[in-house]
Amino acid sequence: MERIHVAVRARPLTAEDAGSSPWRVSGNAIALSTQPSIRFEFDRIFGEECRTADVYGARTKHIVDSAVRGFNGTVFAYGQTNSGKTYTMRGSGNEPGIIPLAVHDLFRTIEEHLDREFLLRMSYMEIYNEEINDLLVPEHRKLQIHESIERGIYVAGLREEIVTCPEQVLEFMSFGESHRHIGETNMNVYSSRSHTIFRMVIESREKVDESEAGESCDAVRVSVLNLVDLAGSERAAKTGAEGVRLKEGSHINKSLMTLGTVIKKLSEGIEGQGGHVPYRDSKLTRILQPALGGNANTAIICNITLAQVHADETKSSLQFASRALRVTNCACVNEILTDAALLKRQRKEIEELRAKLRSELEKERISLELEEEKKAKEQRDKRLIEQAKKIENLSSLVLNSERDDRTTVSSKVLESVQEDPPSSTVRHGRNMEMPLHFEELIQESCESSIKHYTDAYSSGSLSCEDDSLPDSHALLHVTSRRKPNTMKKSDQEQLMGLASERIIPQELNDWKYTTQSQENIKACVNGLSARESEAILVIKQLEDQIKLLELEKSSFQNNLDDVLELATQQKASFHEKYEELQQNALVAQEQAKIANEKLSKQEAAYEFLTGIFVETESIAVQMDQSTRSVDNALSFIEELFQNLFMMAKNFTEAKQFVCGDITQFSSVIRDYENISNCLREKLSKLEMEKKILDEQSLDQKDELQRLKSSLESCEKAMEDCNIQNELEKDSILSELLTLQKEVVYLSSSSLMKEKESIRKELDRTKTKLKETENKLKNSIQEKIKLESEKAEAQREIKKLQSQRTLLERDLRKRDSFTVDKRHEQSVKSKELAGIYDQAVQIQEDYGKLEMHAFDMEAEIASLQEALVTTIAEKEEALSRVELLTSAVEDLESRLNSAESETSSLLEETAVLTRKLDASESISKKLEASISSLSREKEDMGIELTDVLLEMESERSTWTAKEKAYLEAKQKLNICNKNNCKLSEDLIKVRQELACCREQYSILEAKMIFSKNDTNEEKYCRETFEESERLLKKERNIDTGVNENELHQQLLSITEERDKLLSEIKYMNSVINESELIQAKATIDELSSRISIVEAKMKNDASAYNKENTKLRMQIRWMQPELDAHRGRLKEAINEMKLMDTKYLEASTKLKKDLSFYCREVLRLKEQLKESQVKAS
């Protein structure tokens, strides 16, 4: 989160204004001298003498550099009119502005990025009177703002030029400036009358060689750099704006006011609280919406003048800038990533994380080893200290035993003193002064034992005159008597500890070596004649060797303890990992169940595949861990044979883990089976819905048949009406003939008055007939127009039907592709085709009904022509009546008496009119039923189209799901095969472990043999000592021979042990290498297969989405045309209804006229009868 960077630049003042300026600048703060409380602080404040390059370097340079790296950037200059905004942004010939500096710097930084390739596009627009104009293409005016998910907020129709050098950009900019709106005001000769936005779109991607094309990431960075020159806020009183300038100023102030309200609301944090920010109130704020509190690095340059005259405007500008300081943006790198690019990037990240994990694990392992070494050293030091204490205790015990022995052997010492007085005197002096050393005590014990042996031999039967030393057995007896049970007990305890801790055969061999060395030393001591110094040196060597052996023994025990501790720790860690894995597996199963219930079918399949991929990765990680544990176990096997059992346990745990994975896979398969069952149930539901639709179609067919029957009844009624009209016509003709006869009969009378009245009535009737004829002609013309419009509507309907047939052909083609995949879908498509054929038949029936309606209209027109002929015949009859006017004039007096009869006739006519009204209502009802049927037909057509579209979408989803299901099945089969391979490998490893155990049992047998050999050696020693007592010379010879033989046996045993160890190491290394190679191969195969499957899935999904989008776009394009045609049809139907109403009105008028004429004829008949009666 970064806030907007705000800088203030003051315009240079004249000498007069500088003296009276109320503003004072101190560092990055500015305040009013008259009101010290009004004080503003900003990121930078540039004085009057600063250069535009300094303003550019403060923040804009960083924004340009970040735009090259993929971050959006926006810089705009704000301030009142005549404050230097355009000069700051454009500059001049001597001092370039921010836009030229940014362009040059942009290309310079692009040249420095050699590892990427760039594409630059520029556009230049202005907002004049709230209308967006393209300055690069002046003809493009009144452009519209749009918003999409891919492009965000953009201006439709704006020209973007591809540029390759800064000179080209500046040429385009100068061309656009020449078309910018500039005006003259009282404050500025060249005043900007519009806001301009200079935009650079920067696209970049990594340069890739052909060899590295597969490993590269296809991510494309797209950033936008906006450099905005705002028009200045102004007051009409100061600028003197009138007319066009006043209108421009009002629009400028309105857009700047909305910008100020947006900044205010953003500074108050209303957008974060869910409030409304009025970006859409102005086109400027709408275009700059991402830069204001969005995904961009934004900088504002507030231009002010420090003159006294413009203090209020400067204060408002500074308030706007201070509010902008509190607005924060969240800029991020804008990258367009495809699915393949995302996969590559994630793979790289996974590899990097794996490398980091390996390095960290190595560090941890090294630290653990160092800690273990420190602990081992500490334990060794402790044991050395303890052994030193034991040695001190032993030495004290030896001293005490020497003192006790001296009292018993004092007489023998006196004899030795007589034989060797100097040495005895020295020793006696030493004994009197201080306790003797350990070495001197051992030497004296040896001398005393030798003397004791000489006395014993002199008292016995043996006659040996040579002065020889006593045997080794006697020396041992003496030393053991001097040190009672100290060394033996310690040795026995150490031997028992080694046996309990299962020491390697090497320790036993070392112990043998130590015993043999002691025997050799004893033999050497026995072989001493008179040189006591040599015996002392031998004893020293023995002590040194004993110390070394004890140190080695302690080191071996430390190693054994460390190994046992490590083994126990590993066992505990393996158990903990196993329990954690079991818990994770249970949690994963529960989460999978919940996800399968919540998620949709497509997402479930995709997430299942991703889950398999994650599980395979976890299996790979666990395999790596198992290989590491195997390596550690093998290293321990090289030291101790007991770790073979630990390895067997690890393999059993791995087997259990694999079994757990198999159970998980089986549960996943069960979930898939449940999903398939659900799909089958949905298929059954769809089949039921299809049956319901079939029943509805049958009902619609029945309704159509009913409509047909009603239409036939209407036709019959129309035929009846025609017959009635013909009968009335015949009756009228017969009445006319009778009238003619009566007129001929009355021609002899001379009633002038009746003639005149009849003439007047005839004139009236003529005028009425002319008016009706005119109305008929107009109605006929309107009817012709309606018929033409109806024909056009039918043509359009036919066009729509042709388009519909084309769409149906496309659908059938797609259905033909899907027929090969699934036979059931072909059956469904056939059923849909049958439904569609039924709909076509319904349309054909509707066309037939329309044709029948046209035929009825033609019959009505023929009836109208018949009426016209009857009217002509009436005119002829009237012409004949004119000849008889003289006779009719006499009958005027008689007409008054006939009025009573006319009233009765009027009542009869009223009854007839009621009947006519009833017939008209019936006809209206029929028309309403026809219109409702037509609407129902249209609704049925729409529903059928919707059903077809839904069935197609469901069909496509079913195909996609089936593909996913088949692919998942294939993956499961592959995983099962891999599990089988792993189980086979485990069986092989177990067999090899069995072989190793057999070898171990063989080695144990050899160890037992070696132990038996040691027992035999002890027995031989005992016999050998007995023989030594009898014969000294023979004992010396036999001891040499036995030592050589034992040494040879030890060498042979050690060689066999080394051979067995080397064979075991070789076998373990071969086993581990083969297992690692097989595991790596399986992991690589699984990862490659998963990547191939994922790529196929993504390709299929993208193709499917593309086809769906194409079809939806086609449907959307066709919908407005269909709506328009439907509207036209509705209008034509309404016009037809109006024409029908007009026709009915005209027919009713004609019927009324006819009834009136009939009444007049009847009246004339009655008058004639009365005249005849009077004449008679």
Which residues belong to the annotated binding site for ATP?
Answer: 79-86
671 vs 679: CA distance, rounded Å: 12
Structure tokens at 253: 């102030």
8 vs 302: CA distance, rounded Å: 5
Q: Which residue has the tokens 């004994």?
A: 431
Q: Which residue has the tokens 């259905």?
A: 815
Bridge partners (DSSP) listed for residue 74 = 226, 298
Where do runs of H (alpha helix) occur along 113-165? none
Residue 54 DSSP class = H
708-713: long-range contacts, CB 8 A cutoff, minimum separation 24 = 708/845, 708/849, 710/926, 710/929, 711/849, 711/852, 711/930
Q: Which residues contact 660 (CB under 8 A, 6 or more apart)?
A: 581, 582, 585
Residue 436 DSSP class = P
Structure tokens at 894: 């008689």
SS3 of residue 909 by DSSP: helix
End-to-end CA gap in the chain: 124
How many Cα atoms sit within 13 Å of 908 on the Cβ side?
Answer: 10
Q: Which residues contact 447 (CB under 8 A, 6 or more apart)?
A: 416, 532
Beta strands in 382-424 (DSSP E): none
Give the closest residue to 1013 by CA, choosing from 473, 515, 522, 524: 515
264 vs 798: CA distance, rounded Å: 60
446 vs 1122: CA distance, rounded Å: 129
Q: Determine the distance from the C-alpha atom of residue 1089 to the mean position of all C-alpha atoms in its chain, rounded to a whole number.
A: 21
Sheet of 39-41, strand order: 23-26, 29-32, 39-41
Tell whether the torsion through CA atoms of 1098, 1103, 1104 and 1105 is positive or negative.
positive
832-836: long-range contacts, CB 8 A cutoff, minimum separation 24 = 832/948, 832/951, 835/693, 835/694, 835/697, 835/944, 835/947, 836/808, 836/944, 836/948
320 vs 637: CA distance, rounded Å: 78
Amino acid at 564: L
Bridge partners (DSSP) listed for residue 162 = 121
How many Cα atoms sit within 13 Å of 978 on the Cβ side?
Answer: 24
Q: Determine the distance from the C-alpha atom of residue 1055 to the mean position of all C-alpha atoms in its chain, rounded to a whole number.
A: 65
How many Cα atoms sit within 13 Å of 1082 on the Cβ side?
Answer: 25
SS3 of residue 32 by DSSP: strand
529 vs 470: CA distance, rounded Å: 9
**How buried is residue 327: exposed, middle or buried, by Cβ count under 10 Å (0-12/13-18/19+)?**
buried
Q: Are 303 and 9 in contact (CB under 8 A)?
A: yes
Annotated binding site: which residue ranges? 79-86
Q: Determine the distance from the C-alpha atom of residue 856 to the mean position of all C-alpha atoms in its chain, rounded to a whole number.
A: 66
Return the ∠ at Cα 700 (arms to 694 and 702), rounded to 5°. 110
Question: Phi and psi for 263 in degrees, rounded to 5?
Answer: -65, -40
Q: Which helix (H) or strand (E) holds 761?
A: helix 752-819
892 vs 1174: CA distance, rounded Å: 13
Q: Which residue has the tokens 């200045």?
A: 232
Structure tokens at 443: 């030497």
